[in-house]
Structure 1
Amino acid sequence: MRPLRTLAVLAALASAALLAPPAQAAATVRTSAATIYRGEGDQLLRVRTTTRPGIVKITHNGEGHLAVWTLAPSGREDDLLANQVGAYKGTSAFNTGTSNRTAAFSIKADGAWTLQVLPLTKARSWSITSRGTGDDVLRLSSTSRGLHRLRIRHSGDGHFAVWTLDANGRTHNLVVNKVGSYNGTVSLPPGTRYASIKANGTWSIVRR
């Protein structure tokens, strides 16, 4: 009887091992306002398909290339949220196009990462003078009206772009699109509620 009991115990342990999640599986934490995913290395995170604009706060502690895409239900790569070599910390907007539908997030990474998915209304407050480093999303307290100026500076050596978004979070205008350092003044398009900044260096935006 003892050998049979031993075999039964071994069989149960083997079955549990087969059913256990892989070591690299992403952990998910949900709160009332956000969903946080944590993992390491390459992952594909399926989510409930949505067309609603939002933001993703991303961190990466690897040394290699990090790329984070939203995927459409067809599997097509849609929004490139992060694209950097080495450590990364930034915030990006997604579903800003009227045809966007996000069904998953694709992560290509060599280190540990986190993704915090939030409503667009949780973007950082856009003060008169806003400063940051790297990718970010800013939110005005109300939609802009009339003629206003933006004094914008960037000290990085990579691509620098500033998109404005309307009150619904949809792409409005591309006000800056340069490579390297930048120092200029542009108009703030009426109807702007958000700004999406893609940068690899420090930047500042002053509203006037």
Structure 2
Amino acid sequence: MKATFKSRLGFGFVSLLLAAATTIAAPTFAQAAPQIYTGSGDAVVDITPIKNASILKVSFTGDSAFVVRPIDSTGKEGISLVLEIGPFEGTVFQSAVSKAVVALSVKAEGDWSIAVSPVASAPVVGTKNVSGTGSAVVQWAKASTGYKKIAFTSDGEGAFVVRPIDAKGKERFSMVLNVGPYTGSVLLPSGTKYLKITSDGNWTFNVK
């Protein structure tokens, strides 16, 4: 399939800061002008180089494999940011790198779109009764401190993975690594500013 793509600048809007209950149905960017790219089929997309931690809001409408991988300034491909079969919509995380990401490799049979923004533009959520659907990156107004637990639920049938990210955009080891529905509580590492959630279903969390 012949690949086509185009880019344009868009403007996000300020995410709502919720105190008690937060629902993340479709994560939005806060105070950001994301790089936006759209296309159909396989493509290697040149992007404005990024070195700092970023989020990518991605959608795909096809029924086949869909893969997105970063390419750095040396031409080396990184680990897949998206690796899915069938339609996909969600937000994924690109960590800070020493060699700038200058392009994205897209493997697809169908239409896709990718919006790239700084991780600081991830939606701000509370600590109680937070819920969402699909893959997302969310943040707290302040990084966690001291001893805290965090309880998760997920009703998805695929992988459910949660990884903490500190204020510098450094991704840590998985707090949750599960396949299928999940209910449980885990330690919330001190210094966690962002959560990277990989899911194909509905999820919730509460910090205790």
Task: Please state which band the TM-score falls in when normalised by the shorter chain.
Answer: 0.7 to 0.9
* CA deviation after TM superposition for structure 1 residue 82, in Å: 1.4
Task: Give 1:131's aligned residue.
Answer: 131
Segments of structure 1 that go 5 or more residues without pairing to the other structure are 1-22
Looking at both structures, which has the greater relative contact order when contacts are Cα pairs under 8 Å and sequence separation is at least 6?
Answer: 2
Task: Give 1:120's aligned residue.
Answer: 119
CA distance in 1, matches of 2:98, 2:196: 18
Query: What is the TM-score normalised by the length of structure 2?
Result: 0.82
* CA deviation after TM superposition for structure 1 residue 160, in Å: 1.5
Which structure 2 residues correspond to residues 15-54 of structure 1 after superposition, within 5 A? 24-31=3-10, 33-54=33-54
CA contact (8 A) 1:79 1:94 kept: no
Q: Deviations over 1:134-162 (max 9, x none)?
A: 21001110111112211111112222110
Give the number of aligned pairs: 185
Q: Which amino acid aligns with 1:27?
A: K
Q: Which amino acid aligns with 2:201?
A: G
Structure 2 SS opposite 1:190: coil
CA contact (8 A) 1:173 1:189 kept: no
Q: Which of the two has greater helix per residue?
A: 1
Task: Give 2:15's aligned residue.
Answer: none
* CA deviation after TM superposition for structure 1 residue 100, in Å: 6.2
Q: Deviations over 1:25-70 (max 9, x none)?
A: 3111114621110111111112243321000000111111111111
CA distance in 2, matches of 1:77, 1:200: 25
Segments of structure 2 that go 5 or more residues without pairing to the other structure are 12-32
Task: Give 1:151's aligned residue.
Answer: 151
CA contact (8 A) 2:4 2:41 kept: no
CA distance in 2, matches of 1:163, 1:172: 6
CA contact (8 A) 2:45 2:105 kept: yes
Q: Which amino acid aligns with 1:171?
A: E
Task: Give 1:182's aligned residue.
Answer: 182
CA distance in 1, matches of 2:105, 2:86: 17
Structure 1 SS opposite 2:4: coil
CA distance in 1, matches of 2:58, 2:164: 21
Which structure 2 residues correspond to residues 75-90 of structure 1 after superposition, within 5 A? 75-90=75-90
Q: Supply the RMSD in Å over aligned alpha carbons.
A: 1.7
